[in-house]
Amino acid sequence: SKILGIATDTGGRTSHAVIMARSSGVPAVVGLRGLSGTLNDGDALLVDGFEGIAIVNPSESTLFRYGKVGLRRKKIKDLLEEEASLPPSTKDGSKVVFLANADSAEEVRKARSHGCEGVGLFRTESIFLRKNKIPSEDDQYEEYRKIVESAEELPVTIRTLDLGGDKILDSIGREKEENPFMGFRAIRYCLRNPDVFLDQLRAILRASTHGNVKVMFPMVSGVGELVRAKECLSTAKRQLRESEISFDSEIQVGCMIETPSAVTICDMLATEVDFFSIGTNDLVQYLLAVDRINNEIAYLYEPHHPAVIRSMKRVFDVASEKKVGVTVCGEIAGDPHFLPILLALGEGSLSAASPMLPELKFFARRFSMTEAVELLKRVLRMTRPSEINQTLKDFYEQRVSDLIS
């Protein structure tokens, strides 16, 4: 609550710290090379998260201009909030399912006030990182119970531990990796540490008695990994039965699609799960071979790349054929410009940071599914990310003139 803004020398716009800031509504600008070297104690710093700039010791005229911008932003926010409680649908009445990403019970309550229909991604590693240690099964159960109860009857998808990459837990004493995003992380860590994994799975299962809970495995790259993870879940269920502890025996199981191999074999993975969740942040970096927090190649991290859009289309097509659910999460899901083509990809849901939900709902009511489908057809014929980016931006601005004029 005491953090007003974040500005860093390094990092990318989909780094863990930026994602956390966005979820909390805190302005953040990253990749400002050499910024820290220009700052002295007592300097004033203006952080503009919308434009991606930071101004050291802004002049009075700059502060006045930003004061006017702030008033306009407040008017826009008020306008969005007015419509946030309306049923989520497109202009022609097609229903849209908006879920929220969350890291705490407070975020879930905030998301519900914005009219979300559940939690599409609860990041369990946030509990581990806050405590800077591996919490006990009972500690985890209490945390998950609070999350599930704060959602009341709404579904909560709990992702198992996704440490690694830029989410490092110092207390477990792991060796430094040359390429942490490609290394010992997420499901790989869990399968190598079954005691940690089973503690977490039992805690999630115990929390399932308090509401509508689903469990999801991250960074799956093959059927073998997924089968092993499900075997661990079966073991956790057996252990709870032996201890006469209740849980939802029919809990739904899903996996994240965030590697090229998972996209390629998603038809095989579909036979093992109830739903997919497309993790767009990692999917973009792995598809394009771009480290998403490396300043030197940040310009190559292009969510609008045709490979990204075509990969998502494949997952939606397979999900429809195999009759499994699909959710899109990551920063693409919270970007209003992407909303029409995500809806046109097929039946599914979007899980975004809570502060983005009012704008997403506002925009959805200003185009029809027919328009969205035609837009997707155009985009799928395009070859350059810049062209796709501009096309989506133009579509957005033409329909929300009452918001941006």
Q: Per the residue annotation, which of 16, 210, 304, 305 is the catalytic one?
A: 16
Does residue 166 surpass a pLDDT of 60? no
Mean pLDDT of the 145-157 span: 96
Are 31 and 119 contained in the same domain? no
Does residue 169 surpass a pLDDT of 60? no
pLDDT of residue 78: 72
329 assigned to active site: yes
Mean pLDDT of the 3-26 span: 66
Does residue 54 surpass a pLDDT of 60? yes
SS (H, E, C) the chain: CCCCCEECCCCCCCCHHHHHHHHHCCCEECCCCCCHHHCCCCCCEEEECCCCEEEECCCHHHHHHHHHHHHHHHHHHHHHHHHCCCCCECCCCCECCEEEEECCHHHHHHHHHCCCCCEEEEECHHHHHHHCCCCCHHHHHHHHHHHHHHHCCCEEEEECCCCECCECCHHHCCCCCCCHHHCCCCHHHHHHCHHHHHHHHHHHHHHHHHCEEEEEECCCCCHHHHHHHHHHHHHHHHHHHHCCCCCCCCCEEEEEECCHHHHHCHHHHHHHCCEEEEEHHHHHHHHHCCCCCCHHHHHHCCCCCHHHHHHHHHHHHHHHHHCCEEEEECCCCCCHHHHHHHHHCCCCEEEEEHHHHHHHHHHHCCCCHHHHHHHHHHHHCCCCHHHHHHHHHHHHHHHCHHHHC
First to last CA, the chain: 32
pLDDT of residue 64: 52
Q: How sure is the predictor about 24, in pLDDT bands with cuts at 50, 70 and 90?
A: low
pLDDT of residue 131: 81
pLDDT of residue 66: 58
Mean pLDDT of the 195-214 span: 97
pLDDT of residue 173: 54
Does residue 372 surpass a pLDDT of 70? yes
Mean pLDDT of the 290-312 span: 88
In a domain, 195, yes or no: yes
Which has more confidence, 39 or 331?
Answer: 331
Are 72 and 100 contained in the same domain? no
Are 30 and 143 contained in the same domain? no
pLDDT of residue 361: 94
Are 98 and 69 contained in the same domain? no
Does residue 357 surpass a pLDDT of 80? yes
Look at the chain and report how many structural domains it folds into.
2
- Of 23, 45, 76, the one marking the end of a domain is 76
In a domain, 58, yes or no: yes
Mean pLDDT of the 107-135 span: 90
68-89: pLDDT as tens digits: 566 666 667 777 777 777 889 9
In a domain, 84, yes or no: no
- Of 49, 76, 103, the one marking the end of a domain is 76
Q: What is the value of pTM for the model shown?
A: 0.84
Are 199 and 345 contained in the same domain? yes
pLDDT of residue 185: 75
Mean pLDDT of the 89-95 span: 95
Q: Per the residue annotation, which of 304, 305, 329, 337 is the catalytic one?
A: 329
Q: Give the separation between CA 130 and CA 143, rounded to whole angstroms.
A: 12
Q: How sure is the predictor about 219, in pLDDT bands with cuts at 50, 70 and 90?
A: very high
317-342: pLDDT as tens digits: 999 999 999 999 999 999 999 999 99
Mean pLDDT of the 90-104 span: 94
Does residue 141 surpass a pLDDT of 60? yes
pLDDT of residue 404: 58
In a domain, 82, yes or no: no
Considering only CA atoms, which of 344, 187, 388 is closest in space to residue 269?
187
Q: CB neighbours of 40 closer than 8 A, spacing ≥ 6?
A: none
CATH of residue 16's domain is 3.50.30.10
Are 396 and 353 contained in the same domain? yes
- Of 76, 99, 126, the one marking the end of a domain is 76
pLDDT of residue 233: 98
Q: How sure is the predictor about 178, in pLDDT bands with cuts at 50, 70 and 90?
A: low
Q: How sure is the predictor about 238, in pLDDT bands with cuts at 50, 70 and 90?
A: very high
The mean of the pLDDT values for the chain is 87
Does residue 48 surpass a pLDDT of 60? yes
Q: CB neighbours of 239 closer than 8 A, spacing ≥ 6?
A: 198, 202
Mean pLDDT of the 100-119 span: 91
Mean pLDDT of the 340-369 span: 95
Are 110 and 68 contained in the same domain? no
Does residue 2 surpass a pLDDT of 90? no
Are 124 and 255 contained in the same domain? yes
Which has more confidence, 43 or 145?
Answer: 145
In 10 A of CB 173, how many CB atoms? 6
Are 16 and 116 contained in the same domain? no
Does residue 358 surpass a pLDDT of 70? yes
Q: CB neighbours of 207 closer than 8 A, spacing ≥ 6?
A: 141, 144, 145, 147, 148, 158, 213
CATH of residue 163's domain is 3.20.20.60
Residues of the chain above pLDDT 70, percent: 81
Does residue 158 surpass a pLDDT of 90? yes
Are 388 and 308 contained in the same domain? yes
Mean pLDDT of the 347-364 span: 93
pLDDT of residue 115: 85
Are 130 and 28 contained in the same domain? no
Half-sphere exposure of 225 (CA within 13 A, CB side): 23
In a domain, 255, yes or no: yes
Q: How sure is the predictor about 168, in pLDDT bands with cuts at 50, 70 and 90?
A: low
In a domain, 238, yes or no: yes
pLDDT of residue 30: 72
Domain, as residue range, for 224: 91-404
Q: How sure is the predictor about 133, in pLDDT bands with cuts at 50, 70 and 90?
A: confident
Are 144 and 225 contained in the same domain? yes
Place of tokens 């579904």: 155
